[in-house]
Structure 1
Amino acid sequence: MKNKIIFIINPIAGKGEGKIVESKVQQFFANKNIDFETYLTEYNGHATLLTQNILLQKPTIVVACGGDGTINEIAQTLINTDIALGIIPIGSGNGLAANLHIPTNLENAFEVILNTQKSTIDVGKINENYFFSNMGLGIDAEVIHRYSEKKTRNFLGYVSASTKALFNYQPKKFKIELNDSEILEDDFYFLLCSNSNEAGYGISFTPNAKLNDGKLDFIAVKKINFIQQFQFSTLVLRKNIGKMSQAKVLQVNSVKFHSNQDKIIAQIDGEAVTLNQKIVEVSVLTNALNVITPN
């Protein structure tokens, strides 16, 4: 149906704020002369299934109401289609929404959807999965893994998970191919491929990253000692991680990670994922996703 907008809402996102978003959406859009529907997710992965079924209705926009994890589940299905992704940021991190300058105020975010201003962004691919903000295989993956086990997901929980990971993480050995040419091989503390300039909570590992430059921003930090770990944390907060002598920062088209582990713990758009492969291939799909952005 022409100009139909579908809202897919994660009811447990944002300290439970998702529970009230459905009624807010209905109140705001009821008198806007717009055909719209709302759906609530019930479990991890449900948003992807809902989106796949909803595409049969041929909507104009599918709106993800949640955090980066919800956005990822929905956007997976919209890659290389004419259907645009809308975002109502009610998650804990909201890194991609921040990069796109989507307002956190609900009514202001609704106005962005109403204006239907469309842009295109790149999409990162990791084996058979996709990411829209970033993916990592180092200390950040350990942090997200610990964070996912917490009952309360907020900034304090993130700090707690980060602190525990900082004291317990052991660097992992990887052989890394950059752009099918340059080779890195070492024990790595931090490995990140980023499409977005923000990872959530105002934290930015790659402040110069752009969503539509056809490149991924790559960071590799070799094994560092305990004191250097605090230097790393300080430079992350200052958005200047490239100043570390142990860090390599550059833009890439593709990265291939070779591991001697049978399973690799990764974080993909802020969600912990276990990859059952020894080789992880990362690439970028240029201008592969339509998104609704502020004018």
Structure 2
Amino acid sequence: MTYIHFIINPVSGDGRHSLSDLYIRQFFPADRFKIRADYTLRKKHALSLTASALEQNPDIIVACGGDGTINEVASCLIGTGVELGIIPLGSGNGLASHLNIPHDIEKSLEVIRDRRKIRIDAGRINQHYFFSNAGVGIDAMVIKKYEHSAGRMLFSYIRAAVASSFEYKAQPTVVYFDDRVIPIRPFMVFVSNSNEMGYSMSLTPDAMLTDGRLNLVLIPELSFIEKIALGYHILNRSVSRFKKAQHHLVQNLCVEMPNRIFTDAQIDGEHYKLRTNSCRISVAPAVLTVLV
């Protein structure tokens, strides 16, 4: 019998979904599957719920929510051998889109039941894992504003991005990788493991979850017109044609902001205030099994 434990974020996507334990059980015959479900009550609750679920020796733990919920569940599964399932219930759903997991709940439950799997890489920024992307530039401010918006919708994200483009002040930064030292005042330092940020937008459309490398995008300070041009390229998945963007494939890098004490970062679409001015970022190849 296959034991599947679901971790459900009831407010993902502004709580528009109606995923429940009873609904889930319709797709999993009781003679073949043992089903359990827990519901998150707050940010970071999925971490403790997943830790408790692991004590019951499940075969699969399913993250039901957006990229933030998926990050919390997946981070706990590295090194356990337990498989990750994903029911995308968020507003952006970048990781699920990269993995071609349907956004339709019924179809994504069928993916879990069919149990086809792949091994994917994970990124790490200091002690935090990421599976889609992380950044310490303007995107951290965008996510911070987005988290405080009235609703997590595409319009809210665009509004947060526009406001941030006027407010963000680039800080002196040094980026180290592959024996290179790059001093920069960055508009963006973006590190991606996957090819989508969410809402079908991408800075790294060629990124792969299985290549053992991270895609680094460095963009220096921009003029107002250049910011508009960058926004156009992001929406059209054509940042490779934006001349001011530097693209690198890396396995390890370090980002230091010598004039700062703390670092604002976004990790898989969630805002973090890191209590350091130095971020060590690396890739851990093929450390997580995901159902796709």
Q: Which amino acid aligns with 1:203?
A: M
RMSD between aligned residues: 1.3
In the aligned structure 2, how far is the partner of 1:18 from the partner of 1:127? 34
Find the partner of 2:231 among 226, 230, 233.
233
Point out where structure 2 has 5 or more consecutive residues left out of the alignment: none
**Alpha-carbon distance, 1:15 to partner:** 2.3
**Alpha-carbon distance, 1:105 to partner:** 0.9
Instruction: Give the TM-score normalised by the residue count of structure 2.
Output: 0.96
For 1:221, the equivalent position in structure 2 comes to 219
Residues 171-250 of structure 1 aligned to structure 2 (within 5 Å) = 171-179=170-178, 181-250=179-248
Partner SS for 2:185? strand
For 1:251, the equivalent position in structure 2 comes to 249
1:144 aligns with 2:121: no
**Alpha-carbon distance, 1:255 to partner:** 1.1
In the aligned structure 2, how far is the partner of 1:22 from the partner of 1:218? 40
Contact 2:21 2:36 in 1 (8 A): no
In the aligned structure 1, how far is the partner of 2:197 from the partner of 2:218? 16
For 1:165, the equivalent position in structure 2 comes to 164
Q: Which amino acid aligns with 1:201?
A: Y
The aligned length equals 291
Q: Which amino acid aligns with 2:112?
A: I
Partner SS for 2:206? coil
Partner SS for 2:26? helix
**Alpha-carbon distance, 1:23 to partner:** 3.5
For 1:71, the equivalent position in structure 2 comes to 70
Deviation track 1:114-165 (CA, whole Å, cap 9, x = no partner) reads 0111110000000000000000111111110100111311111111111111
Q: Which amino acid aligns with 1:155?
A: L
In the aligned structure 1, how far is the partner of 2:20 from the partner of 2:190? 33
For 2:47, the equivalent position in structure 1 comes to 48
**Alpha-carbon distance, 1:245 to partner:** 2.9
In the aligned structure 2, how far is the partner of 1:145 from the partner of 1:32? 46
Contact 1:119 1:291 in 2 (8 A): yes
Percent same amino acid among aligned pairs? 38
In the aligned structure 1, how far is the partner of 2:162 from the partner of 2:255? 26
**Alpha-carbon distance, 1:19 to partner:** 4.3
**Alpha-carbon distance, 1:30 to partner:** 5.2
User: Which stretch of structure 1 is more off in the superposition, 9-18 or 192-201?
Assistant: 9-18
Deviation track 1:51-79 (CA, whole Å, cap 9, x = no partner) reads 11111111110000000000000001101
In the aligned structure 2, how far is the partner of 1:104 from the partner of 1:281? 33
Q: Which amino acid aligns with 1:235?
A: H
1:263 aligns with 2:262: yes
1:272 aligns with 2:259: no
In the aligned structure 2, how far is the partner of 1:223 from the partner of 1:63? 40
Contact 1:18 1:65 in 2 (8 A): no
**Alpha-carbon distance, 1:28 to partner:** 2.8
For 1:94, the equivalent position in structure 2 comes to 93
Contact 2:27 2:110 in 1 (8 A): no
In the aligned structure 1, how far is the partner of 2:62 from the partner of 2:235? 31
For 2:22, the equivalent position in structure 1 comes to 23
Contact 1:9 1:22 in 2 (8 A): no
In the aligned structure 1, how far is the partner of 2:5 from the partner of 2:37? 6
Q: Which amino acid aligns with 1:185?
A: P
Deviation track 1:197-246 (CA, whole Å, cap 9, x = no partner) reads 00100001100000000000000001111111111111112222232332
In the aligned structure 2, how far is the partner of 1:39 from the partner of 1:65? 10
